[in-house]
Chains A and B, each alone.
Chain A
Amino acid sequence: MITMAYEALDFYDVDSLLSEEERMVRDMVRDWVDEEVIPNIENACREGVFPDEWRVALGEMGVLGAPLKGYGCPGLSYTAYGVICRELERGDSGLRSFASVQGSLAMYPIWDFGSEEQKNYYLPKMASGEWIGCFGLTEPDYGSNPGDMITKAEDKGDHYLLNGAKMWITNGTIAEVAVVWAKLDGVIRGFIVEKNDPGFSAPEMKGKHSLKASVTSELVFQDCKIPKDRMLPGVKGLRGPFSCLNNARFGISWGALGSAQACFDSAKDYAMSRIQFNHPIASYQLVQNKLAWMLREITKGQLLAYHLGQKKDAGVWIPEHISLAKMNNVDIALEIARVARDIHGANGILDEYPIMRHMANLESVKTYEGTHDIHNLIIGRHITGIQAFTREA
């Protein structure tokens, strides 16, 4: 007989393929999520806040910017970064979003495209969690099509002047540092904007029914004046933001499995203890079919994520590999959340169970960082060689 202590569902024992270091990092984050996140998450969602203690704890554990090396960054593997995302998202997608944005979208571009001075100045404080970062790419009218962004930068001799607006920016209002993509003479460049730069504001977007424990903001630039040394020298064009998104999407492909596992765990426990017609509902074929389907999809997703992690660590990957994993794993996680809600019956809508929260979160996760459809088009272009994003070109 095989027994299971808590342990997230791992039917094929995929985690046995992790290194000892990766497993120790997993256990550290898993314990923290069990002790500090899960008991407090519903309250954070109700109040619509990202608890500041979580920022401090992530910095103390040293997991921010996990796969980056040097400048006070952890220097872990991409696989370890994936594992961290999965464990965080078992708590909540908003928490994982915080870590994704900090590490992959704000620290990574400074690490890869920044000057030595920029790296030395920003990265240690961001790795320790002292400074929160955000990433400004999406605009109110340019989501899937960021190349046509309106935000622009002008060279004014001794400074740059930024004008425009960004939207759907995770961490925006609480960030000290924003990595903002804007057009300079028609070419997309990255700029580091600091919280107190003149002409910069980051009002919070209210009224979300999803990612309620995560801060989402607009970034507004009205003749925002920044010093000349704030442009990222190492990249031009969409390659800059897309490199960041590749890393963040990689983390999401693991993270979504955390949500799926949380929903599976809850559905299994509920089905085992809920009695209808004198027997636990887990003893009925329709419910077992649902649980078996969840296990099947989670196991496939785990193998996909693990293998992608190995490819990423070996440096033999293409963005399409990441698109497939992000698209698949978020898709199954959302469907698993819906089926789990079904198993929980009416109880599934209560915040006593994590189901509805994960489900609502995953609706955002399905859309951000490349919508499900856009990832299909990326795969479609890979198969056919024909891009189907636009009728022009």
Chain B
Amino acid sequence: MNIAVLLKQVPDTTAKIIISEGKVDENSVSKWSMSPYDEYALESGLQMKDANNGLLIAITCGPDRSKKMLTDAAAVGADTLIHISDEGVKDSTHTQQLLAAVIKKFDANVILCGKQAADTNGGSTGPGVAEILDAACVTLVSEVSFTDGKYITMRPSNNGTEKVSVDGISVFAFDKGTTELRRPNVRGIMMAKKKAIESMTSTDLGVDLSSSNVTLDSQTPPPEKAAGQKFDGAEHVPTVVSKLRNEANVI
């Protein structure tokens, strides 16, 4: 079983984002990490690999810095590491085409990814890749296993949880999963260091990135939080309760 896990390196959730001249200043990001939902996808992929004697292919499309994340994935058990250069990528459909090309190249049976990346929150990668591959796609899953030739997955429904079975090539986009990504150990780290990262470009993959009808015009930081209000003394309790109920809508 070939398991493809799609990963994206994003600014760590603790990192401060600075916007300069209408764009996120990537040089100001002090720490880059694997996108949290991708971590759940990776953990599920590792479990599926262990249970089915599979091969786990970790794939990312991004700048050179994102190779570090592939080494981190190798430290917990990814077998094959593929870095696709994001040079020339203009929109998310380009990324999806590049990812799909690699997935085909490795004859992946199942594709796992996060439901959205923690930086752009686009949410289009899983469904987009599935569309190109003509594969089934289940989103917002919390776990996936392979039993009797079918993938069994859990996802939320209107009134609880639904269990979905899929066969054939399938894409699963993870929400918060049931198991946190395992911690690496020294042995894994030492093996990861020796593992080669295969780099590919759009030309290598035969993907045409010339046309795009999307342009990112500008990025702006969220508005500053308004100053809090302070009340001193028991006589203000009714006012505070009324504000919490009617303005903040928390009670």
Q: Is A162 an interface residue (CB 8 A)?
A: no
CB-based contact A28/B184 at 8 Å = yes
Residue of B whose beta carbon sits closest to that of A80: B186
How many angstroms between the C-alpha atoms of A21 and B185 in the bound complex? 11
Residue of A whose beta carbon sits closest to that of B28: A3
CB-based contact A1/B190 at 8 Å = no
Looking at the complex, which one of B29, B75, B183 makes contact with A31 (CB distance below 8 Å)?
B183
CB-based contact B14/A28 at 8 Å = no
How many angstroms between the C-alpha atoms of A31 and B190 in the bound complex? 18
CB-based contact B18/A1 at 8 Å = yes
Per-residue CB proximity of A59-92 to B under 8 Å, as 1/0? 0111100100000001110000000000000000
Q: Is B12 an interface residue (CB 8 A)?
A: yes
User: Using Cβ atoms and an 8 Å threshold, which residues of chain A touch B18?
Assistant: 1, 3
Known: A3-B28, A3-B30, A7-B30. A60 touches B15 (CB 8 A): no
CB-based contact B186/A74 at 8 Å = yes
Q: Is A20 an interface residue (CB 8 A)?
A: yes
Q: Is B31 an interface residue (CB 8 A)?
A: yes
User: Using Cβ atoms and an 8 Å threshold, which residues of chain B touch A7?
Assistant: 30-31
CB-based contact A28/B30 at 8 Å = no
B70 CB to closest chain A CB (Å) equals 12
Known: A20-B193, A24-B71, A24-B75. A3 touches B186 (CB 8 A): no
Per-residue CB proximity of A10-49 to B under 8 Å, as 1/0? 0000000000110011001001100000000000000000
User: Using Cβ atoms and an 8 Å threshold, which residues of chain A touch B28?
Assistant: 1, 3
Known: A3-B15, A5-B12. A21 touches B193 (CB 8 A): yes
Looking at the complex, which one of A6, A24, A31, A60 makes contact with B192 (CB distance below 8 Å)?
A24
Residue of A whose beta carbon sits closest to that of B20: A1
A130 CB to closest chain B CB (Å) equals 15
B23 CB to closest chain A CB (Å) equals 16
User: Using Cβ atoms and an 8 Å threshold, which residues of chain B touch A75?
Assistant: 190
- Contacting residues of chain A (350-366) with chain B, CB-CB under 8 angstroms: none
CB-based contact A25/B16 at 8 Å = no
CB-based contact B193/A76 at 8 Å = no
CB-based contact A28/B183 at 8 Å = yes
Report whether over half of chain A's contact residues are helix, strand or loop; otherwise say mixed. loop
CB-based contact A3/B185 at 8 Å = no
CB-based contact A62/B12 at 8 Å = no
Residue of B whose beta carbon sits closest to that of A28: B184
Residue of B whose beta carbon sits closest to that of A61: B185
Known: A7-B30, A7-B31. A21 touches B190 (CB 8 A): yes
Q: Is B209 an interface residue (CB 8 A)?
A: no
B35 CB to closest chain A CB (Å) equals 16
B102 CB to closest chain A CB (Å) equals 24
Q: Is B72 an interface residue (CB 8 A)?
A: yes
User: Using Cβ atoms and an 8 Å threshold, which residues of chain A touch B71?
Assistant: 20, 24
User: Using Cβ atoms and an 8 Å threshold, which residues of chain B touch A314?
Assistant: none
How many angstroms between the C-alpha atoms of A21 and B189 in the bound complex? 7
Residue of B whose beta carbon sits closest to that of A127: B186
CB-based contact B183/A32 at 8 Å = yes
User: Using Cβ atoms and an 8 Å threshold, which residues of chain A touch B185?
Assistant: 28, 60-62
Residue of A whose beta carbon sits closest to that of B182: A60
Known: A20-B71, A24-B72, A24-B192. A5 touches B15 (CB 8 A): yes
User: Using Cβ atoms and an 8 Å threshold, which residues of chain B touch A6?
Assistant: 14
How many angstroms between the C-alpha atoms of A49 and B186 in the bound complex? 27
Looking at the complex, which one of A1, A4, A62 makes contact with B186 (CB distance below 8 Å)?
A62
Residue of A whose beta carbon sits closest to that of B16: A3
- Contacting residues of chain B (1-54) with chain A, CB-CB under 8 angstroms: 12, 14-16, 18, 28-31
Residue of A whose beta carbon sits closest to that of B12: A5
Per-residue CB proximity of B51-86 to A under 8 Å, as 1/0? 000000000000000001001100100000000000
User: Using Cβ atoms and an 8 Å threshold, which residues of chain B touch A1?
Assistant: 18, 28
How many angstroms between the C-alpha atoms of A368 and B14 in the bound complex? 37
- Contacting residues of chain B (168-208) with chain A, CB-CB under 8 angstroms: 183-187, 189-190, 192-193
A5, A63, A74, A75 pick with most chain B CB within 10 angstroms: A5
Known: A3-B16, A5-B30, A6-B14. A25 touches B186 (CB 8 A): yes
A39 CB to closest chain B CB (Å) equals 15
Residue of B whose beta carbon sits closest to that of A4: B30
A384 CB to closest chain B CB (Å) equals 43
CB-based contact A62/B187 at 8 Å = yes
Q: Other CB < 8 Å A-B pairs besides A1-B28, A3-B16, 9 of them?
A: A3-B28, A5-B15, A5-B30, A7-B30, A20-B68, A21-B193, A74-B187, A74-B190, A75-B190
9 contacts between A and B (CB under 8 A): A5-B16, A7-B31, A24-B184, A24-B189, A28-B183, A28-B184, A62-B185, A74-B187, A75-B190
6 tightest CB-CB pairs across the interface, nearest first?
A62-B186, A3-B16, A5-B14, A62-B185, A5-B31, A74-B186
